[in-house]
A and B are shown apart, each in its own frame.
Chain A
């Protein structure tokens, strides 16, 4: 998942926040984005179930893998923000 890299990005964000160059992220903001990502994943799952073509299935599986990574990152970020 690249937790280290995400942690580095969060550290950079916190520095920018201290310098007054970033907007404060509240848990609510992450939850809203997480909800969108989960809806997107559900949509991809459904399309995968309905698709039979090999090429299309592979494409959807790749998209699903990316969607799941986003969700994992968002969940980590939510936990990090407490």
Chain B
């Protein structure tokens, strides 16, 4: 079906141009208008930067604030579709709540009506092309500037200019068209007219993917007398229905929250449309009353259509507000949260690709998910219960008491809980690399990929330890048990420190504290060989066991270093200047060695034990 759409549309356009050359101007006007909207979107993306995330989180703290944000943002961007896509992306990334998202969507429906006011109140009454030309001319100067903000403003100015130019050409086109053909002949009265023209409005919006473009077409056609006022009202109602189909299509690649929001949008618009169609007569009368109060001329049908458009969208919000709680309940029942599958990504989906902010945020959460899975595999690999270690006030004692075999297939756990998730993260970051991201965001995304790599490396290192951990710690066989318990304790301590770092208040958290652990690891690693030699000399450990232990300690310290490096990469300051400060202050390898060497060798728990192991 899809492969026929393009040739059919092109064919229809060419036929229309052949039948009526004036149709070209209308079609070109629509195209220029849509192009303008795309440029506004580009301007927004360039200009938004990191502000968007902060703005959205602040704006969605309450439903009324979210509603206000939806109205203002759609008015400025002149696109409810763009606002819908932003909202679904941020909801999918877990950056805003469903209630906040609903507020934005409802507000967007009201904000989108300002487009009709712009055209009816301004576009039709002035020589709009006279404003469009200088805007377009000035915009190109800004677009070629280096600073992102200026380029963003340039694209936005160009977008607005093309919007105006598109309106101008649609206006001119319909005026010329009137001389050839009178579409008003096809006006349909009564219920039939309502239904047919609502369907036309829906279809037009789905084809053009823009209710804005449909409304501008309708208003310019109405002003040129090409469509009757009654039919124009039905077209406006149809445009509202058509716009939800865009949101539904956009939600197909979103997670369950994004789908819930799209369904809410559909429910809202269908309900509003149904009410408007049923109560069209009282609404008309209300429009006449409001227009009279606002001193709108009785025959200014374009402005009255704008009044109608705003009125019936506000009516929709008023209808939904009292049942908002029930709507959320319905959405949660209809689209249930899927049972979390720890081996599948929770946050990475196509919807979060839309914006750099959602992309980075989703990736951060997914990397944390990976770490959560990996820590479980690490603890089980060391025959430790994660919760027991995390709740312990004496980690060494907890480790020494953990002698029961945890019967787990460590390779299977790794494949299911770590490798699949890691593959999804690598795939996601590779796709992100194909986008034109700002350098600082790209750096942070690649840094997160490196964090994920470090986590996986640490798990693979611990996998190597498993066999001998089981062999030498299931029962206390003397010095070698103490040595392996020592490794288990040190790894467990690192995991606890990382857990504590994650739980710390962001105001207190600093990745620099991990330098303390780094010094501890290097001190332990340095003293390992010395201690093992001492134990061999005393006959407390065989050479075979010593070799196994030295080999395993290499893996263990490697795992610890990978975990520390991953935690540093993850918890480095998000503010780039503060991150620079941390980089300047952090200790390098030589400094760490200095601290590791500075500590006097402490007696190892294995020293002084009499039993030897072969």
Q: List residues of A whose CB falls within 8 A of some B CB.
A: 2, 5-6, 9-10, 13, 22-26, 29-30, 32-33, 36-37, 39-40, 54-55, 58-59, 61-63, 65-67, 69-70, 73-74, 77
Contact = CB atoms under 8 A, between A and B. Distances in A.
B580 A13 contact: yes
B10 interface: no
A39 B516 contact: no
Contact of B516 (A2, A23, A26, A67): A67
B349 to A, nearest CB: 31
A23 B579 CA distance: 9
Nearest to B594: A2
Interface stretch (B244-252, B562-570, B585-593): B585-593
B578 A32 contact: yes
Contacts of A74: 581, 585
A81 B248 CA distance: 54
Contact of A10 (B576, B584, B595, B598): B584
Nearest to B577: A23
A77 B580 contact: no
B181 to A, nearest CB: 59
A55 B244 CA distance: 65
Contacts of A66: 515-516, 519, 587, 595
Interface string B511-542: 01101100110010000000000000000000
A69 to B, nearest CB: 7
B509 interface: yes
21 contacts: A5-B590, A5-B591, A13-B580, A23-B579, A25-B581, A33-B581, A36-B507, A36-B508, A37-B512, A40-B508, A40-B513, A55-B396, A61-B599, A62-B523, A62-B598, A62-B599, A63-B520, A65-B598, A66-B587, A69-B587, A74-B581
Interface string B592-611: 00010011101000000000
Of the listed residues B515, B520, B580, the one surrounded by the most CB atoms of chain A closer than 10 A to its CB is B580
Nearest to B605: A55
B582 A33 contact: yes
Determine which residue in B507, B578, B583, B590 has the highest number of CB atoms from chain A within 10 A of its CB, and name it. Answer: B578
Contacts of B579: 23
A69 B591 contact: yes
B584 A77 contact: yes
Given A66-B587, A69-B587, A33 B575 contact: no
Nearest to A73: B585
Contacts of B523: 62
A63 B516 contact: yes
B316 to A, nearest CB: 46
Contacts of B590: 5
A58 B250 CA distance: 58
B591 A30 contact: no
Contacts of B516: 62-63, 66-67
- Of listed B509, B512, B520, B523, residue having the most chain A CB within 10 A: B512
B515 A55 contact: no
B510 interface: yes
B510 A55 contact: no
Nearest to A65: B595
Contacts of A62: 516, 519-520, 523, 595, 598-599
A71 B580 CA distance: 16
A30 B580 CA distance: 10
A62 B580 CA distance: 25
Contacts of B584: 6, 9-10, 13, 25, 73, 77
A5 B341 CA distance: 48
Q: What class of interface size applies to chain B in its complex with A?
A: 20 to 34
B491 to A, nearest CB: 15
Given A9-B584, A62-B598, A65-B519, 14 more contacts: A9-B583, A13-B580, A24-B577, A30-B581, A36-B509, A36-B510, A39-B508, A55-B396, A55-B602, A62-B599, A63-B519, A69-B595, A70-B512, A77-B581
* Minimum-distance CB pairs A-B, first 10: A63-B516, A23-B576, A23-B577, A66-B516, A36-B510, A29-B577, A73-B585, A33-B581, A62-B599, A29-B578
A55 B602 CA distance: 7
A29 B581 contact: yes
Contacts of B602: 54-55, 58
A16 B506 CA distance: 28
Contacts of A39: 508
A22 B583 CA distance: 11
A33 B515 contact: no
Nearest to B513: A40
A58 to B, nearest CB: 5
B481 to A, nearest CB: 17
A5 B584 CA distance: 10
Given A25-B577, A70-B515, A40 B595 contact: no
Given A2-B591, A62-B516, A67-B516, A40 B510 contact: yes
Nearest to A53: B394
A26 B512 contact: no
Nearest to B523: A62
Contacts of A29: 575, 577-578, 580-581
Contacts of B591: 2, 5, 69
Contacts of A13: 580, 584
Contacts of A23: 576-577, 579-580
Contacts of B573: 33
Contact of A22 (B510, B580, B582, B587): B580
Nearest to B516: A63
B494 to A, nearest CB: 12
Contacts of A69: 587, 591, 595
A53 to B, nearest CB: 8
A61 to B, nearest CB: 8
A10 B585 CA distance: 10
A59 B600 CA distance: 11
A36 B507 CA distance: 7
A27 B584 CA distance: 14
